[in-house]
Amino acid sequence: MPALVVLVWVPAVLWLDRTASLSQQHGLGLLTWLLLVALLRRETPLVRMQTAVVVVFATAVEYTFAGWLGVYVYRLHNVPWFVPPGHGLVYLGALAIGRSTYVRGHLRPLIGLTALAGGAYALWGLSPLAPRLDVLGAFWYLCLLGFFVFGRSRGLYVGAFVVVTYLELLGTRLGTWAWQPHDPTGLVAIGNPPSGAAGGYGWFDLAATLLAPALLVRWPARFSRPSEPEPARQDAAPSPAA
């Protein structure tokens, strides 16, 4: 369900944002928040906490790298209201793919396929065939490989590759945001979008899986339904052995 919502709702919001005014953009943001809250009501307390970590972490990154440094720029030169909850939806979508029966049953070959596809995309970004050089994308692809080798929730990163790559290609194509040719130092070339964006997004996922269990112990009641007993600590994401 969350994966389907991400692959339908978020593209719809990006399409509607093409000509939206600031107030209409705010309305899209409020609807996206409501959708995220509705989906989280069906999830475990741990997944709710993980999603909260992703939203906080991603929002800080958005306002730093888009709002302040201008590494990428949104259409209205702001951080749209639908972006913070949108990161929560992306996490839920990646998590849903990663914990699906198919991915859990074919994890090793899917990791290999993802690594090959990501590597081909990264090499293309470094080649003369790409519209512009993409060094950042290649670095983020190496991050993705690191998550596959050392991460505890590899299925989650498979899902993140699918969802994030799809949305980055769509968002830049529709003009919702655009990446600058270089980072603020002028030393690192960036594609539009970076080829390995899923590897960069993997840091949000890593923060969620590492921080959420400890935070849930500290604030269990705020992320539990009134009728739920206090949850046992368990990782909602698939394990490497899945």
Residue whose structure tokens are 């741990």: 46
Residue 106 lies in a domain: yes
Please tell me whether the overall predicted TM-score, pTM, comes out greater than 0.85 for this model.
Answer: yes
Write the DSSP assignment of 101-143 as a string of letters.
HHHHHTHHHHHHHHHHHHHHHHHHHHSTTSSS--HHHHHHHHH
Residue 234 lies in a domain: no
d(CA 132, CA 139): 16
Residue 97, in any domain of the structure: yes
Instruction: Kindly state whether residue 69 falls inside one of the protein's structural domains.
Output: yes
Which pLDDT belongs to residue 106? 97
| pLDDT at residue number 241 | 38
Give me the domain span that covers residue 150: 2-223
pLDDT of residue 221: 64
Residue 232 lies inside a defined structural domain of this protein: no
Per-residue model confidence (pLDDT) at position 4:
85
Instruction: Answer whether residue 242 is part of any domain.
Output: no
* pLDDT < 50 regions, the chain: 226-227, 229-242
Distance CA 56, CA 120 (A): 32
DSSP string, 158-222: HHHHHHHHHHHHHHHHHTSEEE-SB-TTS-SB--SS-TTHHHHHHHHHHHHHHHHHHHHHHS-GG
Contacts of 101 (CB under 8 A, 6+ apart): none
Is residue 241 in some structural domain?
Answer: no
126 domain residue, yes or no = yes
pLDDT at residue 218, rounded to an integer: 84
Number of domains in the chain: 1
When computed from its CA atoms, the radius of gyration of the chain, rounded to whole angstroms, is 18
Q: Which amino acid is at 140?
A: W
